[in-house]
């Protein structure tokens, strides 16, 4: 008896609907042909059926031409039912999962694609690992109608063979799991499309090249760009990721309900994951989480700089596709890239990229890059999908192993180039304690609901920008507050002195109360009623040389290492966005309190909007109407009906300011605006008849910032940062202050004075905060 016959539960049911049946056999070996043939003969039992072989989808796929017998059968006119069949080979089951391990690979190679000798061994020893798979049947008339309506260049027989492959892939995926939902026929699908070929021909004509030359280039570009998933490599890398992150981190925490929501949404729509980018581990963490929960792997856009041996070859097989940094004038490359994105969207394969473009060196989200998002918006506009959902994704860490290099880069050190040496150093750095990892998914954003239909080019650009900023605000909204972030916040707010654990707890008391009242997301229940959590965080920070401890006195005291303020600020900056609106309210109230108007309502709101504009290159604000409502709600937490107090004049504004606890402007905005002071002064002293050279200007600003810090003209060490200087320079460029023109000197002086006035008020807020803590206010 055939070994498969001993396991009838492994077999598909007979597709009997009364019509003649044509089985389309997809076999890569003589044994697979025998198993399929025996199954059809055994199951037929008098049913009229034929078995025709199609080119094998595994092993070599060089022979694309259909069997002439199939071509003739399609013209027979009996509208038979076409039923694809394949033999699927499964890995051994371990702890309820069938995935490939390194041991499997070292022993015999990929157990999902065994060579003929191993197929015989598997069938004889573990017949449960051999399954007959049946693809979704279709009638000849249905297939021929689909062929006529398609824009493909294949013959009917080749079209049927390709459709059979796809049907078998879907059927086998139901057996193996969604984690292996990957495209296997990208090149065949794209280069077989008449629409694709027509555009290639048009580009060739425009460039004065031959069509054959352009087709070869397009195929080369597609090989350069496209991911080439391998289920075996997906499993191996998933196991490697688990080993790697456990070198330095404990667990990956996430919400299973959010995962279920993504799974259900992804059944009907393409998903675009837009994660925050804090660490080199980000993609690996998300990749492992999706694999662990049997979600399809993402197609992740990566820079061509990552395509180095052996990493490029490996990550391409786990879903990374590579994009050149610049291809503005290469129309054929653009066409291939656009076609590839269109294909992924149309086939509902999930995508992923970093909207920020690169890793954040400051802890805050970076301004968005619009390129990839514009391609997806265009694909949606071309109706490649009814809707596309953007998934804001926050990946947070108790501590980040790359933070030391980020701090060095902010001080002017060049970024380390990626390569094998960089990879080895990164793995070595991981062999310390860094805490846990937290993944949170924001509210999915419907492209259909957000985009203007039939948009003009201007409206299309607005669609892209609106989606990008909404996605980044979505990331910020779900980014959890970690114990590390609040402890570093307390230390930075008191950076001129060392603090005991009890003093840190007292510093955090009102802040933690505010976090709880607002129901802000946290990694865990905040337990600052005791000293254990604070001490644990301080010990981890001390282990990584961010914090130093002096314990020769009666009570240990802690402070930030003199050279580690930027590293500590990184953790604070990951959560600072939660406090910016309140900080703006404080500064606007103080400005109103200094006014001589009898009613300071307009003074307050005008100043709040001016501060929003001043900080627009640092933070992602809601649109103006939403921002006004957010600010109104923020002050409402401390006093209902507070706006009526503004009608009472400066005294009412001052009374309101005294009710706000904790005050936040000095630590939430102070470091950023002190950096702006440095840039404002450097710009004011720049020759008025010379355009600003960015590289020279940033170097001059860095030197001036260090001088101001030594002179105590600025009080925040973390304000001396090239990242913050670049943001301030962006604001100056927005205000037309970089190029020479009439009156530029006065405009630059006014810019510097504007920033200094805000910093003066921040100093006043800090003094008021100290008075509140001392019980003097």
pLDDT (tens digit per residue) in 246-303: 999 999 999 999 999 999 999 999 999 999 999 989 999 999 999 999 999 999 998 8
Give me the numbers of helices (H) and strands (E) for the chain, helices first please.
33, 15
Question: Which residue positions in the chain have pLDDT lower than 70?
Answer: 1-17, 46, 59-65, 105-107, 414-424, 426, 525-530, 776-777
Place of tokens 């001993």: 6
Contact predicate 540/432, CB 8 Å:
no
Give the model's pLDDT for residue 193. Answer: 86
Geometric angle at alpha carbon 688, from 687 and 692, rounded to 5°: 70
Map residue 522 onto helix, strand or coil: strand
Which of 401, 364, 407 lies closest to 566, judged by CA? 407
Give the model's pLDDT for residue 9. Answer: 38
Give the model's pLDDT for residue 12. Answer: 65
Measured CA to CA, the distance from residue 28 to residue 58 in angstroms comes to 6
CA distance from start to end of the chain: 91
Torsion of CA 596, 602, 603, 608, to 10 degrees: 170
Contact predicate 491/499, CB 8 Å:
yes
Say how many residues make up the chain: 777
Give the model's pLDDT for residue 7. Answer: 40
Which of 140, 306, 329 lies closest to 224, judged by CA? 306
Token reading at 595: 């006014």
Contact predicate 410/363, CB 8 Å:
no
Contact predicate 250/303, CB 8 Å:
no
Which of 706, 747, 746 lies closest to 725, judged by CA? 706
Give the model's pLDDT for residue 767. Answer: 94
Give the model's pLDDT for residue 97. Answer: 79
Beta bridge partners of residue 25, listed in sequence order: 53, 85
């Amino acid at each position: 008896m055939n070994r498969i016959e001993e396991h009838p539960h492994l077999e598909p049911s007979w597709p009997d609907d009364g019509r003649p049946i044509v089985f389309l056999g997809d076999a890569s070996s003589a044994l697979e042909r025998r198993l399929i043939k025996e199954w059809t003969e055994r199951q037929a039992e008098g049913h009229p059926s034929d078995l025709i072989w199609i080119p094998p989808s595994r092993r070599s796929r060089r022979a694309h031409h259909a069997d002439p017998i199939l071509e003739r059968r399609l013209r027979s006119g009996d509208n038979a039912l076409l039923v694809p069949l394949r033999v699927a080979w499964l890995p051994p089951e371990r702890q309820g999962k069938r995935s490939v391990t390194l041991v499997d690979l070292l022993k015999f190679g990929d157990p999902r694609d065994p060579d003929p000798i191993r197929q015989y061994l598997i069938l004889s020893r573990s017949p449960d690992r051999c399954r007959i798979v049946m693809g979704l049947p279709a009638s000849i008339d249905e297939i021929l109608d689909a062929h006529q309506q398609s824009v493909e260049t294949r013959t009917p027989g080749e079209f049927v063979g390709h459709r059979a492959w796809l049907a078998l892939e879907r059927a086998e995926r139901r057996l193996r799991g969604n984690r292996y939902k990957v495209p296997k026929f990208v090149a065949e699908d794209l280069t077989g499309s008449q629409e694709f070929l027509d555009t290639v021909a048009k580009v060739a004509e425009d460039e004065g090249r031959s069509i054959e030359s352009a087709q070869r280039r397009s195929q080369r570009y597609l090989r350069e760009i496209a991911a080439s998933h391998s289920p075996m490599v997906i499993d191996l890398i998933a196991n490697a990721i688990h080993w790697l992150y456990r070198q330095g981190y404990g667990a990956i925490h996430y919400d299973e309900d959010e995962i279920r929501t993504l799974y259900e949404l992804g059944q009907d729509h393409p998903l675009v994951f837009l994660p925050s980018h804090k660490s080199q581990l980000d993609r690996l963490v998300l990749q492992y989480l999706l694999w662990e929960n049997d979600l399809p792997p993402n197609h992740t856009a990566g820079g061509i700089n990552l395509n180095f041996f052996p990493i490029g070859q490996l990550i391409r097989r786990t879903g990374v596709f590579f994009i050149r940094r610049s291809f503005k004038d290469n129309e054929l490359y653009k066409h291939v890239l656009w076609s590839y994105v269109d294909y992924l969207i149309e086939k509902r394969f999930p995508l992923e990229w970093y909207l920020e473009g690169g890793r954040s060196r400051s802890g805050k989200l970076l301004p968005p890059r619009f390129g990839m998002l514009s391609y997806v918006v265009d694909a949606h506009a071309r109706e490649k999908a009814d809707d596309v959902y953007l998934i804001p994704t926050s990946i947070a860490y108790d501590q980040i192993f790359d933070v030391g290099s980020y701090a060095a880069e902010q001080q002017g050190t060049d970024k380390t180039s990626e390569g094998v040496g960089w990879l080895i150093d990164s793995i070595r750095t991981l062999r310390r304690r860094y805490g846990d990892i937290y993944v949170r998914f924001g509210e999915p954003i419907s492209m259909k609901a957000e985009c203007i239909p039939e948009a003009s080019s201007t409206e299309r650009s607005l669609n892209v920008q609106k989606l990008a900023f909404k996605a980044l605000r979505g990331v910020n909204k779900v980014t959890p507050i970690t114990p590390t972030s609040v402890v570093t916040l307390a230390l930075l707010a008191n950076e001129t002195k060392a603090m005991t654990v009890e003093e840190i707890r007292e510093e955090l008391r009102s802040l933690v109360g505010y976090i709880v009242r607002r129901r802000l997301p946290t990694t865990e229940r905040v337990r600052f009623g005791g000293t254990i959590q604070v001490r644990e965080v301080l010990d981890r920070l001390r282990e990584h040389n961010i914090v130093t401890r002096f314990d020769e006195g009666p009570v240990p005291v802690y402070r930030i290492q003199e050279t580690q303020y930027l590293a500590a600020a990184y953790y604070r900056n990951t959560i600072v966005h939660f406090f910016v609106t309140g900080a703006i309210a404080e500064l606007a109230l103080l400005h109103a309190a200094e006014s001589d108007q009898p009613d300071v309502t307009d003074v307050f709101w005008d100043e709040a909007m001016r501060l929003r504009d001043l900080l627009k290159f640092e933070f992602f604000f809601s649109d103006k109407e939403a921002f006004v409502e957010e600010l109104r709600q923020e002050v409402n937490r401390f006093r209902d009906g507070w706006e009526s107090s503004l009608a009472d004049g400066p005294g009412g504004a001052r009374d309101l300011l005294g009710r706000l606890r904790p005050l936040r402007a000095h630590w939430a905005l102070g470091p950023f605006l002190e950096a702006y002071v440095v840039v404002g002064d450097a710009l004011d002293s720049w020759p008025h008849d010379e355009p600003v050279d960015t590289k020279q200007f940033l170097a001059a600003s860095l030197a001036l910032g260090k001088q101001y810090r030594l002179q105590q003209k600025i009080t925040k060490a973390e304000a001396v940062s090239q990242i913050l200087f670049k943001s301030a320079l962006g604001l100056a460029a927005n205000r037309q202050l970089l190029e020479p023109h009439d009156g530029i000197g006065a405009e630059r002086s006014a810019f510097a004075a504007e920033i200094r006035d805000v910093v003066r008020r921040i100093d006043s807020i800090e003094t008021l905060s100290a008075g509140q803590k001392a019980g003097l206010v």
